Amino acid sequence: MYHVMNASPAVPTPADMNEPAEHGLLATTRYVPRLRLDRSEVLARHQWMAPGLRSLAKGRRAIANWDEDTVTMSVEAGRQLLRASPSVAAEELTLVSTTLPFAERLNAGIVASALGLATSAVLRDATSSGRAALTELATAMRRPASSTTQMLLAAERRIAQPASAQEMIFGDGAAGALVGSGAAIATLLASRSEYADLVDHFRETGHDHEYAWEERWVRDEGYMKIAAGTIRQCLLDAGVAVSDVAHFVMPAPLARVNEAVAKRLGIGAAAVVSAEHGTVGDLGSAQPLAMLDIALRAAAPGALIMVAAFGSGCDALLLRRTAAPCPGDVPDAGQPENNYLKYLSFTGQIDLAWGMRAEMDNKTALTAAWRDHARASRFEGGRCSACGTVQVPRTRVCVNPECRTQDTQQTTSLADLPAHVMSHTTDFLGYTPDPPFQFGHIDFEGGGRVLMEFTDTDVGELAVGLPLRMVYRVKEFDRNRGFRRYFWKATPVRGATSLAKEKN
């Protein structure tokens, strides 16, 4: 039996389409880690015992760096949303993932702190389902126009068993959406949700690897019946003909399943939105939002977008693209990575002998962490109101020897300030999970100099004057107690294409 939850507004008339949207999607985004593992390299390590992987060994898949997880990737996606809508204050934050780092700690709280959201913001974690992000998006968009602005972030860093099909299919990454009142880029026409406890795959709590059932059965019983039926009913509820759907978004890790569902429904092949499996991989719970971002950037004003997600049932949303431009950046092509052993090390699936320098106890004093949480989470320093000098950490006395005034420090965040390399060191002896260890002094635009660690940096890339940006990453792991500590690091400015700058 399927439970149906539906309350669909009527499709607007052409006259209505000229009216400014009051409530809907304000912005969408997606974040993909820099490293892209070549699938042919994975096949080369397993073809002696799993030659059948050859059919999946085309292209690359995104892999997170050792210091990236679902929290840090969500922070990056959230920062992109805030840059895209600088005048909007998110009053709610929902973090969706099936691979959250903490089972008992509000993961959304870590993200909200790094983003600088108000302490009064309503936060929640959502998990257990690959379609959870779309469920949350439908709930947010069904709210009245007077409701609060909600930020929705989804991220995955799933660990697949070596030599499995999932190892080829999965990708790491994040996506996000901002829902509220304003200059919406898309509005909701109809939505439908059905649940069905059809178990196509599962992962028990405490285990890294999932178990998947036979693909043809999942396709025929799951996608072709449950998903197709939900989408068809959503279109019927809206009174929209299948032929009017201009863009069809449906994540499907199984090959050509979304094309098969589109054909079953009567949606043209040209309307099927790319899942970017060949360059990124399947992003799990983040995949619906990532593909929606792709569709919205390609859609013309007035175009209808059907987005659906399957998993223990199905969610379907019918959206209409408005004339408002899609703000924000799109990911770049990334950096090819051909070292499969590095990937296994980053995911903790092999235990390398790092030597005595790696033998340290990284216990975090939670009391000290709380006292210093503002500096750590938002990279806060102080700016002297008397002379303008920026310093980290903030102290009662200005460090400028020509000023030295007391109690003039105003809180300022360096997280979003442009910076450049003043000095750099490459250390092949100090321990880091991705040697060499690179660090140096950073000069910030407008003042401020900090000794920082670099990340996502190639050997020989650093140079004095190189432009930098700050990223929120894992600083270190306390593996004895299952804790991880976060802080900001510097990385070269590269990659992401600003759509706003292109249009200007």
Per-residue DSSP letter, 75:
H
- The average pLDDT across 388-410 equals 93
pLDDT(5) > 50 = no
Q: Are residues 453 and 314 in the same domain?
A: no
Which of 31-35, 132-136, 142-146 is least confident? 142-146
Taking only the tens place, the pLDDT of each residue in 220-238 is 999 999 999 999 999 999 9
pLDDT of res. 458: 93
Using 50, 70 and 90 to split pLDDT, how confident is the model at 55?
Answer: very high
pLDDT(4) > 60 = no
Q: CA 412, 418, 424 angle in degrees (round to 5)?
A: 105
Residue at 92 is within a domain: yes
- The average pLDDT across 172-201 equals 95
Q: Distance (Å, rounded) from C-alpha 150 to C-alpha 75?
A: 15
Taking only the tens place, the pLDDT of each residue in 88-134 is 899 999 999 999 999 999 999 999 999 999 999 999 999 999 999 99
pLDDT of res. 10: 40
Using 50, 70 and 90 to split pLDDT, how confident is the model at 256?
Answer: confident
CB atoms inside a 10 Å sphere around CB 373: 12
Taking only the tens place, the pLDDT of each residue in 347-362 is 999 999 999 888 888 8
pLDDT of res. 253: 87
Residue at 274 is within a domain: yes
Give the residue from 428, 423, 418, 415 showing the smallest Cα distance to 471: 415
Split into its structural domains, the chain has a count of 2
pTM above 0.75, yes or no: yes
- Among the three residues 346, 364, 390, which one is the final residue of a domain in this structure? 346
Cα radius of gyration (the chain) = 24
Q: Are residues 407 and 338 in the same domain?
A: no
Q: CA 199, 62, 33 angle in degrees (round to 5)?
A: 120
pLDDT of res. 11: 41
pLDDT of res. 328: 78
pLDDT of res. 271: 96
Q: Are residues 303 and 390 in the same domain?
A: no
Q: Are residues 317 and 418 in the same domain?
A: no
pLDDT(393) > 80 = yes
Taking only the tens place, the pLDDT of each residue in 161-171 is 999 999 999 99
Q: Are residues 333 and 445 in the same domain?
A: no
Using a 10 angstrom Cβ sphere, with 0-12 exposed, 13-18 middle and 19 or more buried, the burial of residue 15 is exposed
pLDDT of res. 170: 97
One-character DSSP codes across 272-293: BPP--TTTT-B-GGGHHHHHHH
Residue at 363 is within a domain: no
CB atoms inside a 10 Å sphere around CB 311: 26
Domain span at residue 420 reads 377-493
Domain CATH number, residue 322: 3.40.47.10
User: Both tokens of residue 436?
Assistant: 């060499």
Residues comprising the chain, all counted: 504
Using 50, 70 and 90 to split pLDDT, how confident is the model at 160?
Answer: very high
pLDDT(460) > 70 = yes
Q: Are residues 168 and 309 in the same domain?
A: yes
pLDDT of res. 495: 63
Q: Are residues 87 and 136 in the same domain?
A: yes
Q: Distance (Å, rounded) from C-alpha 228 to C-alpha 88?
A: 36
Residue at 368 is within a domain: no
Q: Are residues 304 and 423 in the same domain?
A: no
pLDDT of res. 494: 84
Residue at 500 is within a domain: no
pLDDT of res. 342: 97
- Among the three residues 325, 346, 367, which one is the final residue of a domain in this structure? 346
Which of 9-18, 187-196, 197-206, 401-410 is least confident? 9-18
Residue at 370 is within a domain: no
Q: Distance (Å, rounded) from C-alpha 269 to C-alpha 52?
A: 28
What share of the chain has pLDDT > 70, as a percent? 94
Q: Distance (Å, rounded) from C-alpha 410 to C-alpha 117?
A: 19
Q: Distance (Å, rounded) from C-alpha 231 to C-alpha 268?
A: 15
Tell me if 32 sits within 8 A of 62, measured CB to CB.
yes
Q: Are residues 200 and 86 in the same domain?
A: yes
- The average pLDDT across 289-314 equals 96
Q: Are residues 334 and 434 in the same domain?
A: no
Q: Are residues 280 and 428 in the same domain?
A: no
One-character DSSP codes across 133-199: HHHHHHHHHTS-TTSPPEEEEEEE---PPTTSHHHHHB--EEEEEEEESSS-SEEEEEEEEEE----
Place of tokens 């809180």: 411
Q: Select the more confidently predicted residue: 144 or 324.
A: 324
pLDDT(502) > 90 = no
Using 50, 70 and 90 to split pLDDT, how confident is the model at 20?
Answer: low
CB atoms inside a 10 Å sphere around CB 50: 16
Helix (H, G, I), strand (E, B) or coil at 366: helix
Residue at 85 is within a domain: yes
Q: Are residues 280 and 392 in the same domain?
A: no
pLDDT of res. 144: 85
pLDDT of res. 27: 96
Residue at 273 is within a domain: yes
- The average pLDDT across 204-210 equals 91
Using a 10 angstrom Cβ sphere, with 0-12 exposed, 13-18 middle and 19 or more buried, the burial of residue 364 is middle
Summary mean pLDDT of the chain: 91
